Amino acid sequence: MTHYAHLWLFATLVLGVVVLPGLDMAYVMGSAMTGGRRMGFAALAGVIVGGICHVVMTSLGIGVLLRVVPGAFNALLLAGAIYIAWIGWSLLRSGAGFGAIAPSAPKPLGATFRQGLLTCLLNPKAYLFMLAIFPQFLRPQYGPLWIQAIVLWLIIAINQLCVYGGLALTADGVRQWLSRKPAAAPMAARVVGVLLIGAAMFTGFEGWRSM
């Protein structure tokens, strides 16, 4: 297999993983639905930066350590699921709808970015991918491994930008439509909360079962 075919295969696998519902997708969509496209893309930026951390940890062998010590991985998996479920529960209990926060006091983009970063770092699906698939595409014959790791991360980031960015724009459109229907907005916010809790439960279960 040529190097280019190798990269195309990786890109195809990454796309298949990214389009699967998970914590990152749920958080980006939830942020866009409740705070608009700026919040959605701030969350997406956090997820993409979190991908850098995953690549670095894999390169340093921390991912292997998590694999060797199942207790550590399970603790990380549980923490990620609880974190997203907590965000969903906060929305579920909130009486506010979309766009209910006054423009003068919006949620800081930095806070959304940090939550997106933390969500990515606590996402069990990401660790399963980095443990099972990512190392197989690092080949010494293709050059320095650190350069290959950067290229592979760029492929992951582009896929996330296209898929999650498109979802963020779509969610923002839905938010604007709901903002013109005050009666529906609070209920829709709670629906997003339920989706986040469901994503946390599903991802946590699937990740635990894969160990």
| pTM reported for the whole predicted model | 0.72
User: Long-range CB contacts (< 8 A, 24+ apart) of 73-79?
Assistant: 73/124, 73/127, 73/211, 74/208, 74/211, 76/122, 76/124, 76/127, 77/124, 77/127, 77/204, 77/207, 77/208, 78/204, 79/122
With a pLDDT cut of 70, the percent of the chain lying above it is 69
Residue 211, pLDDT above cutoff 90: no
For the chain, what are the domain ranges?
Answer: 24-95+102-210
Quick: pLDDT tens for 175-190. Answer: 777 666 665 556 666 6
Quick: pLDDT tens for 147-173. Answer: 888 999 999 999 999 999 999 999 888
Quick: pLDDT tens for 122-131. Answer: 877 787 788 7
Quick: pLDDT tens for 70-122. Answer: 566 666 667 667 777 777 777 677 654 444 433 434 568 899 999 899 888 88
